Structure 1
C-alpha cells in the first residue's frame, strides 16, 4: 500500500494518503506500478480524445483536450520537471550551479522553449492520429493509441530508476527512487507493457486499417531511446537523476510515442 500511495500521489492528483514509510523496496515497487497508475490518466485521456473526435470537434481540438486532461490529472508536475531540467542544462557546465538553478523553481527561457516544443510535439502527434482515425472511421484506435502512449511514457520511469543510475543530489524524489529498480524487472515490465499495448491496438483495430499491433513495440522503443538520451545527458551534467529529470523523461517519452504512432498510422 505504501508503494501504491507513493506512485499515485506522485504521478496523479487523485487524493490518497501519504505512505507510512518509504524505503528502497517501496520506491522500486512504486516505479514499477507507474504504468498501472498511469491508467488513471490514460483512460480519461483516451476517452476524451475519442468523444471529441466522434463529436465533430476536429482532430486538433481533440488533441488539445487530451493535453488539458493530462494536465488536470497530473497537475503539470512533469512539465515543471521538464522546464527545470532544460533550465539546468542551459544554465552552466558547472554541476552545482545547474542543480541550484533547477531548485529555484523559476522558469527561464530554455524551460519555456522546452515546454512549448514538447507540448507542440504531443499535440501534433495526437492530432495526426485523430485525422487518420476520422478518415478511416477508426476513432477508437486513435483513442487507444493516445491512452497507450500515456502508459508507455510513465513506464519509462523504470528506466530512469534502474540500478546503476545515480541520484544527482542526496535529497528529493530522485534520491528516493534512483537505482531501486532491477534491470531484469524493468525489462520485463517494458516487455509486458509492449505486449498489452499491442493487444489493445489489435482489439481496437483488428483489420489494422489505421495502425497495427506491431506499432506498439516500435513506439515503446522510440520512447526508450528518447529516455536514454535524456538520462545520458543528465547524468553527464548533473551526476544523476532528480525528480525534475524524471518529469522530463515522462514528457519526452509521451511526445516520442505519439509522434511514432502518428508516423506509422495510415
Structure 2
C-alpha cells in the first residue's frame, strides 16, 4: 500500500518502497484520488461554475498524480500512432520529448475530459461519474499486472510488477467499486443513476482493454507508459459514457 501511494501520487512516503507492490493497491489509490477530485469538482461547480469545477478537478488529478499518467498517454500515442517498427516505437516512447502526435492526443483527451465533466456537474450527483472514472482507471492499470501479461522490452517497471495482481483480487476490487457506486447513488436517491454509472465504468474498462491489446500487439507487451495510458483512456471513456447514459 505504501508503495502504491509513493509511486502513483505526490504523497511522500518514508523509505524507498519497491514498485513490486504498486498495482494490487492501485484501486485503493483511485478511491482516495476520486474522493479528492470529486470534492474539488463539486465545490468548483457550486461556488463558481460547472466548467470551472471540471477544470479544477482535472487539474487536481494531474497534480496529485504528478502528471505521470498523462505523460504515459502522450508517449504511448507517439509510439502507437505513426507507422514505425516495434523497436523504433519503444525507442520513441523512452525519449524524454513528446512528438506532435502525443501532444495532439494529450490536448484532445484533456479537452474531452473537461467537456464531459462540465456537463455532468450540472446534473445532481454528477460528481459521482468522476469518482467512477478515477477508480475504473486504476482498475485498468491493475489489470496490467495480471499473470501472463507480457512485458515490453526494456521496461524495468513493467518487469517489476509483472504477475503481482491475482485475478481474484482484481475482480474483488472491481466488485467493491461497483458496490460503492451503487450505495452512493442509493444514498443520493437515484439507484438508476448508479446502475448507469456502473455500465459507464464497464464501457471505460472495455476502451482501456482495446488499448492494452493494441499495445501488446504493437510493442510486444506493456510498459509504464502503457499502464498510464490505459488509465487515462479508461477514465476518459467512462466520463464520455456517463455523459451519454446519465447527463444527456
Pairwise TM-score range, normalised by the shorter structure: over 0.9
The answer to whether residue 197 in structure 2 is matched with residue 216 in structure 1 is yes
Stretches of structure 1 that go unaligned for 5 or more consecutive residues are none
1:52-71 alignment runs, 5 A limit? 52-55=44-47, 57-71=48-62
CA separation of 1:18/1:166 partners in 2, compared to 1, >3 Å: closer, same or farther? farther
Tell whether the 8 Å contact from 1:53 to 1:62 is kept in structure 2 after alignment.
yes
Distance in 2, matches of 1:255 and 1:64, equals 14
User: TM-score, normalization: structure 1?
Assistant: 0.87
Q: Deviations over 1:74-99 (max 9, x none)?
A: 11100000000011113443111110
Which residues of structure 2 form unaligned runs of 5+?
none
- Alignment partner, residue 123 of structure 1: 114
| Aligned mates of 1:80, 1:185 — CA distance in 2 | 28
Distance in 1 separating the partners of 2:32 and 2:14: 16
2:100 and 2:234 mapped to 1: Cα distance?
Answer: 22
- Displacement, 1:20? 4.9
Query: Offset of 1:126 from its aligned partner?
Result: 0.6
1:67-82 to structure 2, matched below 5 A, reads 67-82=58-73
2:136 partner SS: helix
Number of equivalent positions: 247
Q: Secondary structure at the match of 1:260?
A: helix
Give the stretch that moved more between structures: 237-246 or 186-195.
186-195
Q: 2:189 aligns with which of 195, 198, 206?
A: 206
Pairing 1:1-266 to 2, within 5 Å after superposition? 4-21=1-18, 26-27=20-21, 30-55=22-47, 57-131=48-122, 133=123, 138=124, 141-203=125-187, 205-207=188-190, 212-266=193-247
Q: Could you list the per-position Cα deviations for residues 109-159 of structure 1 after superposition, in whole angstroms to 9, with x for gaps in the alignment?
A: 11001101111121122111012x2xxxx2xx1222222321121121122
Q: Is the partner of 2:126 in helix, strand or coil? A: helix
Q: Quick check: 1:12–1:75 contact (8 Å CA) kept in 2?
A: yes
Shift of residue 39, structure 1, vs aligned partner: 3.0
SS of structure 2 residue aligned to 1:13:
coil
The 8 Å contact of residues 200 and 245 in structure 2, kept in 1 or not, is answered as no
TM-score in terms of structure 2 length: 0.93
CA separation in 2, counterparts of 1:158 and 1:256? 17
Q: CA 1:21–1:213 in structure 2 vs 1: closer, same or farther (change >3 Å)?
A: closer
Structure 1 CA distance, aligned partners of 2:221 and 2:185? 35
Question: RMSD in angstroms over aligned alpha carbons?
Answer: 1.7
Evaluate the alpha carbon distance shift between residue 207 and residue 234 of structure 1 in structure 2; reply closer, same or farther with a 3 A threshold. Answer: closer
